[in-house]
Structure 1
Amino acid sequence: MPQQKAVIIGAGVAGIATAIRLAVKGYEVEIFEANSYAGGKLSQFEQNGYRFDAGPSLFTMPQYVDELFQLAGRDPRQYFNYQKLNVVCNYFYEDGTRLHAYADTEKFSEEIANKTADSAQAVVKHLANSRDIYEITNHVFLERSLHRLQTYLRWDTIRSIFRLPQIDAMRTMHKANTNAFKDARIVQFFDRYATYNGSNPYHAPATLNVIPHLEHHFGAWFPEGGMYAITQSLVRLAIQLGVKFTYNTAVDEIIIEGEKIRGVRTKEKVVEADVVISNMDVWFTYKKLLADRPNLHPKKTLEQERSSSALIFYWGVKKQFSELDLHNIFFSADYKAEFEHIWQKQSIYHDPTVYLNISSKLKRDDAPTNSENWFVMINVPANSGQEWDKLIAEARTNIQAKLSRLLKEDISKLIENESILDPRSIELKTSSYKGSIYGTSSNNQFAAFLRHANKSSKIKGLYFCGGSVHPGGGIPLCLLSAKIVADLV
């Protein structure tokens, strides 16, 4: 029997992981990538002596990366290494409160009890609830397709269905957190996890309170070599397994004959394939690659509310700050107003919550001597034609003022290098519709079931992976989408 061929559109982390899994199964695999590099959002760049991871900066669930090497019979440590963080993140509040989110649950709960009006017991109880949600949802809703009957006929699925009330889908995340804690600072702390998939805690279901478990049970990690080392190690493995990477080559069309995949068309040629997996945002997959087949378009799915986007300033800062760590959060004084600006006003609040990542804290050669590489990000709305140049200029001024105020240093005088990524450039570089980072939002209780399936119900041999489809965005879920697709194939 001749070897079957799989074509993957896009060399994002989900596309590479899918390629590895299919190569292990014996497929001939070719990835077409429009950019000159692999990784999609998980990429890097260097400028004036500073190196920046361009996209995702938080690494959790490293076992999903290790699993890919183990499937191929390789030792993960020969390709990829990482260290666990003792402090997941530092938090700065406008009232002067500073919290260290220790990885150790006991130390973390004591930190909150010592510095806020909440008790250690309340934190432990909340994290136990987070664990319960994970145990109910993980194997059923994250590791398998929600669009196959077989999923619902399994005993573990039936068990989870009987426990569905425990996932707290009928309350908002903010409501659940308000009931769990009495200190507004800790409510804000746990509300922030909604932003991990580009959602609004005042609308998203409390099911998203599963996310703290990923940090405080499985831990947060830093890859040796920075986040881009994930991409580099997976590309190396894929090449060793025979996967072909074709860069600077966009796929222009998915070719269908009857109700079956025939292959793809690039500018140069037609490439025939038995299966095609799109790692491109599902909106562009249909609107660009299947533009002449509107009968195939899932209109309701494509019209869903998009997740938030991001505005990122990459700053080379000519000073080292001892009070800062790898991950740092500077909270807005009015969280509700910030989210109202993002979601209702489609704008940027004058006092945004600022996330600051400094990889040179752990990888010193990412910045020159006595300097730091600052990845400064705020959550912003998806692109709908806003005056971005004006909004960016205002945000820069407000962010610098906020950081200067809380760090008691004029940050603007320390910046010697700047690059910017905004919703327009995110869409351009990563084919993410409207620059939304996580595909559709999770701002309703049925969001998990409304994400696009990993397999076409109309075209045999057409599959989908990545952050815009089930189970969602972020590195762990993208890797799980690859697992689901490979199992379906």
Structure 2
Amino acid sequence: MKGTVPHIAVIGAGIGGLAAALRLAHGGARVTVLERHGSAGGKMRTLPTAAGPVDAGPTVLTLKTVFEDLFRDTGSALSDHVTLHRESVLARHFWPDGTRLDLVADQAESTENVARVFGSGAAAEFTAFCAHTRTLFDAFDGPMMRSAAPSQGTLAARMLRQPDLLHRMEPRRSLAESLAHRFTEPKLRQLFGRYATYVGGIPPTAPALLSLIWQAEAQGVWSVEGGMYALARAIEARAAELGARFHYGTHVSRIRVRDGRADAIVTDDATVDADAVLFNGDPRALHAGYLGDDVRRAVARKGVEPRSLSAMVHSFAAEASGLPLAAHNVLFCADPDLEFGPLSRGEVPSDASLYICAQDRFGGQTPTGTERFEIITNAPAVPDAATLTEKERQQWHATIMARLRRFGLMLSPGPAPETLTLPQNFAALFPASGGALYGRSPQGMMAAFHRPTVRSRIKGLYLTGGGVHPGAGVPMATRSAAHAAEAIMTDLSST
């Protein structure tokens, strides 16, 4: 160690880097965070509109206890820094034939809604599915999601204590196959298959185990006053209060390795010595040599390939009419095969489901006049050097707007093509990602064991973020930060 107080250099101020910086600063370390963009948040982006800033990434909070733990463990309280509101409507779902279904925070009410729309048999299947996914979530929360480095041995031990768990996991089935077994109603299969896309997968190739993602939402959805970006700013402010220093607009070109240990980061202007380096970016950037040849071996290829889904994201403000929107809405395509077939081949589907966040409708509000929207369409990742033509942007913008009109949603003024962020844009924003927003694809039963853990293959170099175990999503990236901070402080103490 280079002094009595260890110095930790954090590359990237996404949610993982922010949460780890907060924990490390609270633990007594000297923390320096370097971020190539102009502000904190990473994929928790916000963009300006005529109605104010709109979220252009994650839109709501799930697994709230993860964030309560973060602030409590660092001497504060989540409620001291952000204001949350629990949403009664989890999501409103629309189909082209006019079918509409609300899933809500109260499971009994959701069951009644399913029965009213699809019949008592479908309601019974929904109830059974909720119980099934709750069992899976409870079983895997500890040995997988809360573990810094899950092992097949730990999982096997859990199965010995709970012999029916292997059967419940359905290891030979994809998520699509599992849902076909559990629901006779095709629309419900389509609805719950969509949860695979939350972590960048598609139902035909994602493991059946991913059905447990439904429970993360079923246990509660919270909106953040000021948008999700307000949460990123709150974590940043608390870390700075404890002494962490943030440098924006700073490009890190290399991680220096000496005697087999990462001991410094090199920027365009300086070399910053460190007792440990924490990388909060897509681990594929290390493997691809974006941070220098010395750290290429930090992660294995199978930890970063194949790539997850990307997205096409509209962020804008407009007046809306013609469709009774909630805050969270899903407009399903008529045939999921027409969406997931092309996606599995790396093609953008001509017909795909749309997720619409009407940010000003949180809390059951019905705004008048201009309001803020984020619309997300699934798309495949692209090559790192993929270019984008204005013709392509206008083409996909027109396609998405036409889908909205088919559902009866009218927007005035209609958003311009410039409000659309495409996979090529994400590839440029997040180096070596290929626009994949969730890191490695979750396809295959063993995907969870291939994802990199917080300790890389190089001493002194640690990882955090959605590309690292326990996986994609704001809560999981925040958990990875807790694992990383603990690993760093433990290893430095033993040194």
Q: TM-score if structure 1 supplies the norm length?
A: 0.92
Q: 1:478 maps to what in 2?
A: 477
1:336 aligns with 2:337: yes
Return 156-165 or 459-468, whichever deviates more: 156-165
Q: 1:113 maps to what in 2?
A: 115
User: C-alpha offsets along residues 239-277 of structure 1, whole Å, 9 cap, x if unaligned?
Assistant: 111111011111111111111121111111111111111
1:227 aligns with 2:228: yes
d(CA) in 2 for partners of 1:58, 1:477: 14
Do 2:254 and 2:290's aligned partners in 1 also have CA atoms closer than 8 Å?
yes
> 1:135 deviation in Å?
1.2
1:402 aligns with 2:437: no
d(CA) in 2 for partners of 1:364, 1:104: 15
> 1:464 deviation in Å?
0.4
1:72 to 74, 78, 90: 74
Do 2:310 and 2:437's aligned partners in 1 also have CA atoms closer than 8 Å?
yes
Q: 2:493 maps to what in 1?
A: none
1:81 to 57, 69, 83: 83
Q: 1:26 maps to what in 2?
A: 28
Question: What letter corresponds to residue 421 of structure 2 in structure 1?
Answer: L
Instruction: Map 1:265-304 to 2 at 5 A.
Output: 265-293=266-294, 296=297, 298-301=299-302, 304=305
> 1:85 deviation in Å?
0.7
Do 2:88 and 2:104's aligned partners in 1 also have CA atoms closer than 8 Å?
yes
Percent of aligned pairs with the same residue? 28
Change in 2 beyond 3 A, CA 1:364/1:266: farther
User: C-alpha offsets along residues 106-147 of structure 1, whole Å, 9 cap, x if unaligned?
Assistant: 111111111014432211110111111111111111111236
> 1:415 deviation in Å?
3.8
2:179 to 170, 177, 180: 177
SS of aligned partner of 2:453? coil
Change in 2 beyond 3 A, CA 1:413/1:244: closer
SS of aligned partner of 1:47? coil
> 1:460 deviation in Å?
1.5
Change in 2 beyond 3 A, CA 1:156/1:456: same
Count of matched residue positions in the alignment of Structure 1 and Structure 2:
483
Do 2:151 and 2:449's aligned partners in 1 also have CA atoms closer than 8 Å?
no
d(CA) in 1 for partners of 2:82, 2:113: 33
d(CA) in 2 for partners of 1:249, 1:387: 26
d(CA) in 2 for partners of 1:71, 1:287: 35
d(CA) in 2 for partners of 1:177, 1:261: 46
Change in 2 beyond 3 A, CA 1:446/1:72: same
SS of aligned partner of 1:185? helix
1:48 aligns with 2:47: no
SS of aligned partner of 1:433? coil
1:371 aligns with 2:374: no
Question: What letter corresponds to residue 138 of structure 2 in structure 1?
Answer: E
Instruction: Map 1:190-205 to 2 at 5 A.
Output: 190-205=192-207
Instruction: Map 1:57-456 to 2 at 5 A.
Output: 57-117=59-119, 118-146=121-149, 152=154, 159=161, 163-216=165-218, 218-293=219-294, 296=297, 298-301=299-302, 304-319=305-320, 323-344=324-345, 346-362=346-362, 370-384=369-383, 385=386, 389-407=390-408, 409-411=409-411, 414-415=414-415, 419-431=419-431, 433-456=433-456
> 1:433 deviation in Å?
1.0
Return 207-216 or 347-356, whichever deviates more: 347-356
SS of aligned partner of 1:318? strand
Give ranges in structure 1 of 5+ residues lacking alignment. none
Do 1:145 and 1:470's aligned partners in 2 also have CA atoms closer than 8 Å?
yes
> 1:157 deviation in Å?
8.4
SS of aligned partner of 1:453? coil
SS of aligned partner of 1:310? strand
Do 1:140 and 1:160's aligned partners in 2 also have CA atoms closer than 8 Å?
no
Do 1:152 and 1:158's aligned partners in 2 also have CA atoms closer than 8 Å?
no
> 1:337 deviation in Å?
1.7
d(CA) in 2 for partners of 1:177, 1:167: 12
SS of aligned partner of 1:144? coil
Question: What letter corresponds to residue 337 of structure 2 in structure 1?
Answer: K
Q: TM-score if structure 2 supplies the norm length?
A: 0.91
> 1:321 deviation in Å?
6.2
User: C-alpha offsets along residues 15-55 of structure 1, whole Å, 9 cap, x if unaligned?
Assistant: 01011111122111111000110000112121334321121
d(CA) in 2 for partners of 1:363, 1:36: 31
CA-based RMSD of the aligned residues comes to: 2.6
Change in 2 beyond 3 A, CA 1:116/1:456: same
> 1:302 deviation in Å?
5.8
SS of aligned partner of 2:28? coil
Question: What letter corresponds to residue 124 of structure 1 in structure 2?
Answer: T
Question: What letter corresponds to residue 129 of structure 2 in structure 1?
Answer: H
Do 1:60 and 1:221's aligned partners in 2 also have CA atoms closer than 8 Å?
yes
d(CA) in 2 for partners of 1:199, 1:388: 27
Do 1:317 and 1:416's aligned partners in 2 also have CA atoms closer than 8 Å?
no
d(CA) in 2 for partners of 1:244, 1:349: 44
SS of aligned partner of 1:133? helix
Change in 2 beyond 3 A, CA 1:350/1:148: closer
